[in-house]
């Protein structure tokens, strides 16, 4: 197996006085696409925010590209799409400016050069938003905001993409566009960890699913075929690739 790009071992975190991560083990290897699944409040966002350093951990170890997270500085290698939020947070900015902000980590002395501007334009093309480049982000719909945030993450041409529900609020046609974009990124070797509620058009891309429940890993293995009826509490799921005598996996995604 190739080297781990993300590694969490026994990670615990509290928010307020509430234990939110209660000993998470999670490894994502180079080139893998791993979906983080689980019910609302199970700790998915907190887990990925602990990886990018937005949530302090109280125990365990996190490594990114083999470096302890505390010492990791090479953020240009990482693209992050936060859980759905407006791209500018009410600040007046154009679509290009937001996406360009994702390129700054690669720009020397914070100055964008021709190649950087091209990367920004390319990222906008990848998410089908090139025609809105000059528009104010405040004039975009929720799903368009989401696509701009994805373009911002892609603009630094990251080796690792961490995305929190990237498809939230995105219509099906645009989901297909984004799935195709992601497929190309993955084919080019990008590693992906993403929070999802439904596998949807991304399903064929997912190598592994990690299901959280109450801040613990409930399942780490083949993705469930459907995050719907099949995932209801108590439903015994046998993955079609599993051996015939394999133990059913209780995904319990929604419990
Ligand atoms: N800032 C905060 N302060 C206190 N508790 C928080 C805070 N943010 C999240 N929590 C709590 O931590 C738990 C995990 O939240 P988290 O956002 O990680 O869940 P999630 O699995 O991503 O959920 P969802 O599917 O709803 O996005 C929840 O019980 C939530 O109430």
Block residue for tokens 């690669």: 106
Q: What is the pLDDT of residue 90?
A: 66
Among protein residues, the one whose CA lies closest to atom 6 of ligand 1: 15
Å from CA of 173 to ligand 1 middle: 30
Asked, for residue 186, whether it belongs to a domain, the answer is yes
Q: What is the pLDDT of residue 150?
A: 92
16: which DSSP letter?
T
Cα 122 to the center of its chain, rounded Å: 20
Q: Is 9 within a domain?
A: yes
Domain presence at residue 194: yes
Task: Collect all residues with Cβ–Cβ distance below 8 Å to 69 and sequence separation of at least 6.
Answer: 51, 53, 62, 63
pLDDT of residue 35: 96
User: For residue 255, is it within any domain?
Assistant: no
Between β-strands 191-195 and 160-164, what pairing exists: parallel, antiparallel or unpaired? parallel
What's the total number of domains in the chain? 1
Q: Look up residue 178 and give its two tokens.
A: 């984004």
- pLDDT, position 89: 62
* Predicted complex ipTM: 0.94
- 158, 178 Cβ separation under 8 angstroms: no
Domain that holds residue 245: 4-250
Pocket test for ligand 1, best of 36, 37, 39, 45 (most atoms within 8 A of CB): 45
Atom of ligand 1 at shortest range from CA of 49? 18
Q: Which residues pair with 7 in a beta bridge?
A: 27, 63
Please give, one letter per residue, the 3-state secondary structure of 187-205. HCCCEEEEECCCCHHHHHH
- Tell which residue, 183, 161, 197, has the closest CA to residue 36: 197
Q: Whose CA is nearest to atom 29 of ligand 1?
A: 41
Q: Is 76 a domain residue?
A: yes
What separation in Å is there between the alpha carbon of 254 and the centre of ligand 1?
Answer: 15
CB-based burial of residue 134 (10 Å sphere; 0-12 exposed, 13-18 middle, 19+ buried)?
A: exposed
Q: What is the CATH number of the domain that holds 100?
A: 3.40.50.300
Q: Which residues contact 73 (CB under 8 A, 6 or more apart)?
A: none
Burial of 66 (0-12, 13-18, 19+ CB in 10 A): exposed
Predicted confidence pLDDT, tens digits, the chain (255 residues): 678 999 999 999 999 889 999 999 999 999 999 999 999 999 999 999 999 999 999 999 999 999 999 999 999 899 999 887 655 566 789 999 999 999 988 877 778 889 899 999 999 999 999 999 999 988 888 888 889 999 999 999 999 999 999 988 888 888 888 899 999 999 999 999 999 988 888 999 999 999 999 999 999 999 877 544 444 443 444 444 444 444 444 444 433
Closest C-alpha residue for ligand 1 atom 24 = 40
Distance 43 CA to ligand 1 centre (A): 6
CA 107 to chain centre: 23
Q: Is residue 227 assigned to a domain?
A: yes
């Amino acid at each position: 197996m190739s080297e781990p790009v993300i590694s969490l071992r026994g990670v615990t975190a509290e928010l307020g006085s509430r234990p939110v991560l209660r000993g998470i083990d999670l490894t994502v290897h180079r080139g893998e696409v791993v979906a983080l699944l689980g019910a609302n409040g199970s700790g998915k966002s907190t887990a990925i925010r602990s990886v990018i350093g937005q949530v302090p951990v109280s125990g365990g170890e996190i490594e990114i590209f083999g470096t302890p997270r505390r010492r990791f500085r090479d953020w240009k290698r990482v693209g992050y799409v936060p859980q759905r939020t407006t791209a500018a947070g009410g600040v007046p900015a154009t679509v290009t400016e937001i996406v360009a902000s994702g390129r700054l980590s690669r720009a020397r002395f914070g100055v964008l050069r021709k190649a950087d501007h091209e990367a920004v334009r390319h990222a906008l093309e990848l998410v089908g938003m090139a025609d809105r480049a000059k528009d104010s982000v405040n004039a975009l719909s929720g799903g368009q905001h989401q696509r701009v945030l994805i373009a911002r993450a892609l603009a630094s041409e990251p080796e690792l993409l961490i995305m929190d529900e990237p498809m939230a609020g995105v219509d099906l046609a645009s989901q297909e566009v984004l799935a195709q974009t992601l497929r190309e990124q993955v084919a080019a070797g990008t590693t992906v960890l993403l929070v999802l509620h439904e596998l949807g058009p991304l399903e064929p891309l997912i190598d592994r699913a990690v299901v959280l429940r109450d801040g613990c890993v409930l399942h780490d293995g083949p993705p469930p075929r459907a995050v719907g009826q099949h995932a209801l509490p108590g439903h015994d799921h046998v993955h079609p690739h599993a051996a015939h005598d394999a133990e059913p996996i209780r995904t319990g995604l929604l419990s």
